[in-house]
Amino acid sequence: MIVRILIERIGSALYAYQVSADAAELFADDGLASVAECLRAAIDGCGGTIAAAEVWYGGIVSGTYPLATIEDNAEQVAEHAVNTTSAVAEALLAAAPRSAG
């Protein structure tokens, strides 16, 4: 099974995550200090039937990873998620129509 890990910034230095499968929330937590910490906590809660996770940050999907990859490379996966979301936000801003004057 592949789950979805949704991570959101909820404060200046606080994050929350939710793990879901087939649109049903499995578990969640908040008040964590980083995106990487959210990823580690999320995969810690995943059982043996879960093979991979689709990682979302700020409403943008950054990729689907085997759980072992997230566990071994949480900082890199977190950095990729943050960078992907920033790049998409910049692209949307650049594509937005400019108001005249």
- Structural domain boundaries enclosing 90: 2-95
Q: Which residues contact 46 (CB under 8 A, 6 or more apart)?
A: 3, 19, 53, 67
The pLDDT, as a whole number, for residue 99 is 63
Decide if 101 is inside a domain. Answer: no
The pLDDT, as a whole number, for residue 96 is 81
Decide if 67 is inside a domain. Answer: yes
On the question of pLDDT at 2 being above 60, the answer is: yes
Decide if 38 is inside a domain. Answer: yes
Decide if 55 is inside a domain. Answer: yes
CA–CA distance from 60 to each of 43, 72, 75 (Å)?
19, 22, 18
At 65, is the pLDDT very low, low, confident or very high (cuts 50, 70, 90)? very high
d(CA 49, CA 76): 24
- The mean per-residue pLDDT over the stretch 17-30 comes to 95
Decide if 89 is inside a domain. Answer: yes
pTM, full prediction: 0.90
Decide if 46 is inside a domain. Answer: yes
Decide if 29 is inside a domain. Answer: yes
Looking at the 3D structure of the chain, how many domains does it have?
1
Instruction: Summarize pLDDT for 36-50 with one digit per residue, the tens.
Output: 999 999 999 998 889
Decide if 100 is inside a domain. Answer: no
Kindly report the number of other CB atoms within 10 A of residue 10's CB atom. Answer: 12
